[in-house]
Chain A
Amino acid sequence: MPQYMLALYDDPSRWPSLSPEEMQKSLERYMAWGKRPYVVTGKRLAGDSGRVLKGADGKPRATDGPYSETKEVLGGIYLIEAKDYDEAVERTLDHPHLAHGTIEVRQLYS
């Protein structure tokens, strides 16, 4: 079965306005989705902007990752199984993240 990477972007600045109860409800919706049988794994990215390595002219150099111009940042990824893009999209369409954020779906090369 082909695997797809879901990259979840959102704007973390909206979170602090949630109440504890709303946070828990939101969390529960994510958790419920994450337990579906076709979800292979999920990983949260650390909160920094990472490093970018470039070797275009001469010696490769590491720089701090790009600060995104947009408010949305890549927060985490999931791997899911699906037979094709249509099914991958279908399986992601009701992800609770889409209530406020963006999800990018990419097939892994196999």
Chain B
Amino acid sequence: MSLEPDTSGLLEHLFRHQSGRVVAHLARVLGPSRLDLAEESMQEAMLRALQVWPYQGVPENAAGWLFRVAHNAAIDAIRRGKFLEQNMGVLVAELTRSLIGTTANGSGDDPDFERQLRDDELRMIFMCCHPAIARDSRVALSLKTVGGFSVREIARAFLADDAAIAQRLVRAKRQIRERELTLDMPHGADLERRLDSALETIYFIFNEGYSTHEGQDLIRKDLCFEALRLGRLLAGSSIATPRVQALVAVMALQAARLPARIDEAGDLILLEDQDRTRWDQGLIAMGFHYFDVSMSGDQVSEYHAQAAIAATHARAESLTTVDWPLILELYDQLLAVSGASPVVALNRAVAVAKVHGPAEGLAAIAELSGNPQLRDYYLLLAVRGHLLLELERREEAAACLRAALECRCSEPERRFLRRKLAQCEISV
């Protein structure tokens, strides 16, 4: 790795993001059944850049260059007859027309064209998140096609093997063909349903990136920021509703805590022990902005309640000024809108303990213990152990934490549990 400053002048993640945009644009022109051709053409453009730019330098408009070269690659592939189509002439004409669109003003930052590209990307998100596609495949397809992640990167982020991810992509593309999914923007009642599916997929990607796993691979942080980018893309479009804004607010406010969540040794730091000065103020400001916008209208979604909770944490200057009674109230609201999600109920129990004391918190947890979804969930046992320790019931606490260690959890989480366990044993 070079220690020299980055003087390449390339925007961060330019290739990844431009890949998503160009593929979306090409797929709209060529039709979703030729998604593979769109991807191959963009791949060829990036390879060309890799071969030429190191010697000749980065062209003035790097993004526009990639766009043009990918278009030409698609035109060449069609002309070579790789795809024997009756409408070859139409496709080539279409591609040529959109190519002229970019070169007309040379700079490629024509606002109309920019709008068109964003619209293409939006359509692609909706197609990738189509409810007809299984969720796992939806997630993989969105990351690959819109996010510009490779199969290997997705596999690493999800702790899956490459073949499994490749399989999900194959399935997704088959579903696109068989169900004849289009890149048309959904309308009316369908729009609501499709938007829900897109938001759910984006939030899933975010949470997957946010959950702590061994190594804290950079790729997981990238997942969070990709989800945030996709959310903002939806939020900036004409179809945005308050719950889209609320989802962006949740993601921004939670992502703000990423720098403070892990210490130098890679150990997990609980929210209450985090150094708040390390929270990202830019993301907090972004979160509050979207939160404010989400308040227009009278829609209260799950994301609104989540955003309100994250905002309450962000607003407090220190742990002692966290408004726990408000947080408890918000968890009650969240449970009311999201149904009885047991994980949300567990978080609520933590808020109960903060407001009414550890004994009440334990009682709230006791109600959850029978829930099959939380059986063998390390966090339930960890929270219980934590509260027992606060009540000085050390032996019970230790038993709980030992049981938690038996559950499936990541290595940083395991180390955290062992540290807690050591606290129980010190003064037994």
Contact = CB atoms under 8 A, between A and B. Distances in A.
A98 interface: no
A96 B2 contact: yes
B98 interface: no
A2 interface: no
Contacts of B14: 24
Contact of B10 (A16, A24, A47): A24
A21 to B, nearest CB: 5
B56 A44 contact: yes
Nearest to B222: A21
A23 B2 contact: no
Given A23-B49, A24-B10, A32-B4, A76 B54 contact: yes
B50 interface: yes
Interface string A20-52: 111110111111111100000011100100000
Contacts of A42: 54-56
A44 B51 contact: yes
Contacts of B7: 31-32, 35
B153 interface: yes
B46 A20 contact: yes
B242 interface: no
- The number of chain B residues touching the other chain, given as a range, is 20 to 34
Contacts of B16: 19-21, 24
Contacts of B263: none
A26 B50 contact: yes
Given A31-B8, A32-B7, A44-B56, A75 B51 contact: yes
B8 A94 contact: no
Interface string B381-401: 000000000000000000000
Contact of A32 (B6, B18, B148): B6
Which one of B19, B54, B55 has the greatest number of beta carbons of chain A within 10 Å?
Answer: B54
Interface string B130-169: 0000000000000000001110110000000000000000
Given A19-B150, A20-B19, A21-B16, A43 B49 contact: no
Interface string B222-255: 1000000000000000000000000000000000
Contacts of B150: 18-22
Contact of B58 (A29, A31, A44, A96): A31
Interface string B67-88: 0000000000000000000000
Contact of B53 (A18, A31, A96): A31
Q: Secondary structure at chain B's binding surface: helix, strand, loop or mixed?
A: helix
A43 B149 contact: no
B175 interface: no
Contacts of A67: none
Interface residues of A, number: 30
A26 to B, nearest CB: 7
Interface string B35-61: 000000001001101111111111000
A32 B2 CA distance: 8
Nearest to A15: B47
Contacts of B278: none
Contacts of A27: 8, 10, 49-50, 53-54
Given A24-B16, A28-B6, A34-B54, A19 B47 contact: no
Contact of A44 (B13, B19, B46, B52): B52
Nearest to A20: B15
Contacts of B19: 20
A42 B56 CA distance: 6
Contacts of B222: 21
B2 A21 contact: no
Interface string B320-360: 00000000000000000000000000000000000000000
A59 B4 CA distance: 53
Interface of B: 1-2, 4-8, 10, 13-16, 18-19, 43, 46-47, 49-58, 148-150, 152-153, 222
Interface of A: 12, 15-16, 18-24, 26-35, 42-44, 47, 75-78, 94, 96
10 contacts: A18-B50, A21-B13, A21-B153, A24-B14, A28-B8, A31-B7, A31-B8, A31-B54, A32-B5, A33-B4
The 7 A-B pairs at the shortest CB distance, nearest first, are namely: A19-B150, A30-B54, A20-B15, A42-B55, A31-B8, A44-B55, A24-B15
